[in-house]
């Protein structure tokens, strides 16, 4: 289902602190420079309406949260949520997550990566656009230290199983660990709007935790595989409403 156009934020709201343009970042970008104090950084790929980024950063003020969203309207919507409560530990980048991870982030700079309900790109000729590609996961292994984690959630079993096989093939992660769903008693108990809609409809959600092992990364910043999704923006599906 295509995304509905997001509501425009209040024009009086200053988004300059919380909204960052990917094109303004340098090749020597350090994500720690976006935050007023040092803390472990968690990256969300495809932040959509910003539910996870907003609630997670509010619940865990001792950590810094960075989102990246390809759609300009949703990036602004997410920034507005953060700006309304003057969130010091959360920022949103407008741009392509695949290039951010592959081309800009330095080694071992993140504590966790969250990939929730990425676009499955159903058509066979579009499969190379899937964000959980060999190149992306090799670079995820590069930007995470040993013990760092990738959270993978999707409602598409085939995509889920494929991503686990890709993670195994990199040699950079321990055997994927299952993640049990927690009871949801309130809208904010869901990590994303898409999770809320999926679970309320009674549909299954597949979840895994990929933990970085101590094997050296096999790629360097800026490298890629032409057969993968280099240059193809990472998209996450977003529930309407």
Distance CA 95, CA 219 (A): 22
Distance CA 43, CA 140 (A): 10
Which residue out of 54, 119, 155, 228 is catalytically annotated?
119
Cα-flanking dihedrals φ and ψ of residue 132, to 5°?
-85, 60
Distance CA 197, CA 9 (A): 23
Residues with Cβ < 8 Å from 73, sequence gap 6 or more? 5, 6, 8
* Tokens representing residue 33 in the block: 């420079």
Cβ–Cβ < 8 Å for 91, 15: no
Cβ–Cβ < 8 Å for 188, 234: no
Cα-flanking dihedrals φ and ψ of residue 38, to 5°?
-70, 140
Q: Is 14 a catalytic residue?
A: no
Listed in sequence order, the DSSP H helices in the chain are 51-59, 72-84, 97-99, 134-143, 157-170, 193-200
Distance CA 111, CA 228 (A): 25
* Tokens representing residue 85 in the block: 């409560």
Annotated active-site positions, please? 119
């Amino acid at each position: 289902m295509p995304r509905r156009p997001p509501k425009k934020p209040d024009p009086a709201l200053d988004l300059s602190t919380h909204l960052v343009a990917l094109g303004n970042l340098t090749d020597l970008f350090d994500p720690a420079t976006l935050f007023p104090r040092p803390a472990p950084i968690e990256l969300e790929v495809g932040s959509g309406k910003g539910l996870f980024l907003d609630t997670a950063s509010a619940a865990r003020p001792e950590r810094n949260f960075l989102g990246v969203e390809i759609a300009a309207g949703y990036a602004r919507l997410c920034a507005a949520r953060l700006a309304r409560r003057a969130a010091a530990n959360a920022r949103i980048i407008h741009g392509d997550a695949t290039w951010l991870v592959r081309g800009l982030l330095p080694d071992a700079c993140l504590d966790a990566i969250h990939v929730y309900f990425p676009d499955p790109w159903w058509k066979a000729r579009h499969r190379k656009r899937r964000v959980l590609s060999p190149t992306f996961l090799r670079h995820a292994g590069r930007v995470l230290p040993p013990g760092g984690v990738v959270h993978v959630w999707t409602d598409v079993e085939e995509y889920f199983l494929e991503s686990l096989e890709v993670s195994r093939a990199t040699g950079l992660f321990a055997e994927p660990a299952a993640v049990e769903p927690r009871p949801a008693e309130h809208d904010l108990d869901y990590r994303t709007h898409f999770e809320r809609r999926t679970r309320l409809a009674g549909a299954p959600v597949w979840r895994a935790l990929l933990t970085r092992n101590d094997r050296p990364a096999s790629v360097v910043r800026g490298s890629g595989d032409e057969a993968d999704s280099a240059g193809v923006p990472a998209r996450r599906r977003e529930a309407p409403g």
